[in-house]
A and B are shown apart, each in its own frame.
Chain A
Amino acid sequence: MPDRDRGGHFYSGLQHRPIAGCTTPSLSHNAGSSAAASAGIAQTEKSMFQFLFDVLIRSVDLALIAVALSAVYSLIKFPNVALVQYAVVGAFVAMSLHAAGLPLLVAGFASALFVGLLAVVFNILIFERLLKSDSAIALIGSLALSMILSAVFLLAYGPTAYRFKLQVSPAMRILGARITDHQVTTLVLTTVALGLFALILFRTSLGREMRATATNGVLAAATGIDTRRVTNIVVFLSGMLAALGGITLAMRGSVSIDLGTNMMLPVFAAAILGGLGNALGAVVGAIVIAAAETVITNTNIGPFIGEDFYFLPASYAPVASFAILVVFLLFRPRGLFTSEVNRV
């Protein structure tokens, strides 16, 4: 299952790596010959590029949803947990449309539009009202909405994992790293989507209005910007980005109802690291989190605990991101970069 390796079930994919790392050195240990040792070195060099590529793919997983979270946060000042579930909605809808015979691109785009509209509807019906009382109340409300959405997924799709019916081509080998078509497609799609978002944000008058509203909503309203319309446009775009994130995740692996819950804290960690409200900082945050997750499960900590080879279980990968999140909240709550949001 080559395309599953870096798919939605990221952590299950990781489990193969420590084993591979373990066997190679033990081989060279048994043989004790220089040939086997040099083979071991070649193996590490190979896995170096594979490692970088793994980090890149994992950060792409996180980046779209993290950017969406951050962008919405800059306007409506609360972290919307339900965004990770919007990603799952996007994946499921795209999958259903694709199964109904639409080409993948059309299905994906239609699904992203649908999720964007859904996000706007939820924002008007629920969050605008909850935000009148408190941002913490809105956060609890978004948690509640996530639970309802996962109940809907459970009834509609059941607990099994779903995959796109796509052709699986054998993985290419580039500089020793195994790279699949779908990974390249996701990489391109994500780059294009983030590039378009950045263009809107920095090169259009709409983007200027968005940034003005984020910096000072009252002042923006006073200069004639319809802040409610701007907010809902950003909510719409964030829904589209999240849906796209879910679709790309599903393309390389599978989608199941717990995908959203599993993504929640890593995505939050990436967004907070980049400085919530600083949309493009979230991309950097995603790279840092992805690197940390990959390092913690691929590093041989044996020498530190008096054993030759010891790898942390793959289930510790999320701990890396949560721990970074907590450390940042302790010492640098505004993230790596200063953002337009000054409240933490």
Chain B
Amino acid sequence: MFDFFIHVASIACLYGVLALSLNLQAGFTGLVNFGLIALFGCGTYGAALASGMGWHPLAGLPAGLAMAALLALFYARLGRKLSSDYWGIATLSIAEILRISITNEQALTGGAQGISGLPLLFADLKPYDGVPRLALYALVLVLAWFICQRIVKSAFGLAMKLMREEPQLARSLGYDLDAIRRTVMLISGAIAAFAGFLYAHYLTFVGPDQLMSPETFLIWSMVIIGGIGNNWGVVAGAIVMQFAMAYVPFVKDALDLPTDFVAAARLVIVGGGLLAFLLWRPKGLFPEKVGGSRGR
């Protein structure tokens, strides 16, 4: 039971990093990205590439970051002409194209079976490897939070928020919206890919099933429920959602429900959570602080 708790907490930390990445895009810049999971996938497949080529495991990180940067730039380029909901559909399509291509290009990516046998982080510390891993993930989460917080509080962060609220006004004041979008996508893409890299070396397996679009919507629910535009909030949302999802099977066992209940309950938690918060508490558990004592 303790091991399971450590496992869920580790995954929750990585999802927290992803939620921070999405919050930077959707929460502060107003970029409705439905293809976030593909940026995460760049990180996982970067790690898989290093493993497949026999490189040092760390070489997978720059590979993943490079792929994520390319994809982020493409997303940003698409966003030049499109309003937010169209951009969301476009990013969703690209993420699906990538997932289908990965599934079919057997030689390159291992196809639907994926690539397994990646080195596990801290494997030599067994059986006490779970706790140091969790500590590392928590550290990464804190670091990502710190970076996001610094960005949001900087002058650039103000430009991001202005772009979200009043794009026309931002443009009239001389802000280059395309440049802001590019920078935000590059930073948040790198954060998401880093989470993917760690995730790959935790599960020791990389496959296209990890890149299904419902994963993106799960991260969205974390952001909306936690509080869009609040870095504390989305991390809290990630932890709440991850634990809620992880303990559904126990409820099923306790109440002796059919197996389909697990999948259905997870769909209801994500979809219902999203809808309920959008309708009744659109600012989430921890609303964004506007203004504040320090003027930012």
Chain A interface residues toward B at CB < 8 A: 78-79, 126, 129-130, 133-137, 139-141, 143-148, 150-152, 154-155, 158-159, 265, 268-269, 272, 313, 315-316, 318-319, 322-323, 325-326, 329-330, 333, 343-344
Contact = CB atoms under 8 A, between A and B. Distances in A.
B116 interface: no
B222 to A, nearest CB: 13
17 contacts: A134-B84, A136-B32, A139-B88, A140-B224, A140-B274, A141-B279, A143-B271, A144-B221, A151-B271, A154-B260, A155-B260, A265-B89, A318-B96, A318-B100, A329-B89, A330-B81, A344-B86
Given A78-B85, A147-B267, A265-B92, A319 B100 contact: yes
B83 A126 contact: no
A59 to B, nearest CB: 19
A326 to B, nearest CB: 5
B279 A129 contact: yes
A344 B81 contact: yes
A78 B275 CA distance: 16
B112 to A, nearest CB: 10
Contacts of A155: 260-261, 264
Contacts of A269: 93
Contacts, number: 128
B86 A147 contact: no
Contacts of B261: 155
A139 B89 CA distance: 10
B278 A144 contact: yes
A147 to B, nearest CB: 3
Nearest to A155: B264
B270 interface: yes
The CB with the most chain A CB atoms within 10 A, among B86, B100, B103, is that of B86
B217 interface: yes
Contacts of B279: 126, 129-130, 141
Main secondary structure of the interface of A (DSSP, over half): helix
B275 A141 contact: yes
Interface in B192-227: 214, 217, 220-221, 224
Contacts of B77: 330
A338 to B, nearest CB: 16
A133 B30 CA distance: 13
A315 B264 contact: no
A159 B260 contact: yes
* 8 tightest Cβ-Cβ pairs between the two chains A and B: A147-B271, A144-B274, A151-B267, A322-B93, A136-B84, A148-B271, A144-B275, A151-B264
A159 to B, nearest CB: 7
B85 A145 contact: no
Contacts of A143: 217, 220, 271, 274
Given A126-B275, A315-B104, A326 B264 contact: no
A325 B87 CA distance: 11
Main secondary structure of the interface of B (DSSP, over half): helix
A313 B94 CA distance: 19
B contact residues, range: 35 or more
Contacts of A150: 267
A139 B274 contact: no
A315 B267 contact: no
B275 A148 contact: yes
Given A78-B85, A79-B85, A344-B82, A326 B94 contact: yes
A319 B264 contact: no
The CB with the most chain A CB atoms within 10 A, among B93, B94, B103, is that of B93
Contacts of A326: 78, 90, 93-94, 97
B101 interface: yes
B86 A313 contact: no
A129 B280 CA distance: 10
Given A313-B104, A315-B100, A319-B101, 7 more contacts: A140-B32, A145-B271, A148-B271, A154-B260, A322-B96, A323-B93, A326-B93
A146 B224 contact: no
A136 B85 contact: yes
A141 B278 contact: yes
A123 to B, nearest CB: 13
B282 interface: yes
Contacts of A144: 217, 221, 270-275, 278
Contact of A333 (B86, B97, B217): B86
Contact of A329 (B82, B103, B264): B82
Contacts of B224: 140
B268 interface: yes
B89 A79 contact: yes
A146 B85 contact: no
B114 to A, nearest CB: 16
Contacts of B220: 140, 143
B263 interface: yes
Contacts of B78: 326, 329-330
Contacts of A79: 85, 89
B89 A325 contact: yes
A154 B85 contact: no
Nearest to A125: B279
Nearest to A139: B85
A333 B82 contact: yes
Interface in B60-117: 77-78, 81-86, 88-90, 92-94, 96-97, 100-101, 103-104
